[in-house]
Every structure is written in C-alpha cells, then in structure tokens.
Amino acid sequence: MEILESIQYGLGYLFIGFIAGALVDALFPKYDETKDTFTVFAETVIHSMLLIIVVFYVRKIVKIMPFLFVINIDTNGDGKIAKYHPYQATEYSGELMIALILVGSQLNLIKKVDLLSRRLYRVFYKEDKSIGVSLGI
C-alpha cells in the first residue's frame, strides 16, 4: 500500500509540478547573455521567490488528492482486517519530484544561474570557468 501511495503522489507531483514549472518559466524573460549582471541577478531572485510560492501551492494541491487505493486486507489470515493509514509514505511531501520536475523545468532560470556563476568566477579568478575536459573536436 505504501508503494501505491508513493506512486500516486509521485505522479501527482509530476503532473502538477511540470505544468506549474512550465508556466512559471514562461512568465520570465528568456535567457540573454548580453544583459548586464544586475538585471540577470534581479530576474533570478524574482524567479526564485515565485518558485518558493509555487512549491508551497503545488504541495497543497497534491495533498488534497485522496488516496485512491484504500483497501482493507486480512494480512495474517486470522480474519482480522489490517487497516492501512494513508498519508505516511515518503513521497507524500514530494521533495524528490519537486526537485526533479519543477526545478528541472526552469530552463531559463538554470541558464541564468550558470551565467551568474561564470561571471562571478571571472571576477574572482580573472579567467573563464572551465571543467578542463577536451572534446577532441
């Protein structure tokens, strides 16, 4: 039952999180490397604050879904019914799916954070950030 509950709430977070994430990402200006650092930083902060609010409401929406698989089972064969207590599964709070789907759908935000990171690296080390891997192209 706990596996079914984890699957149900995981799918809820997948669908609601993806829709909310795609809508939030579409609200903000597209990634533009030519913008000044302050503008990109401001967009990133506002985008992140809105994501905090969206995560709060995505959780609320998914948690109002009733558990669909409430089945009372005679687990010991003695005629006594073991009642499953829903809303205890680890995926009920949705951290994994929120991290993967909601945050993963923020393509503009991810690109802006990368741009800010590269610019900050350039300020501190006076060189461009590189992972030191040659592609041989």
For 57-102, how does the pLDDT look when each residue is reduced to its tens digit (9 = 90+)?
998 998 888 877 666 555 566 666 656 565 666 555 678 888 889 8
pLDDT at 3 > cutoff 90: no
- 2: pLDDT confidence band, cut at 50, 70 and 90? confident
Quick one: pLDDT at residue 132? 62
d(CA 67, CA 10): 12
N-terminal to C-terminal alpha carbon distance within the chain: 52
d(CA 13, CA 55): 10
CB 90 within 8 A of CB 8: no
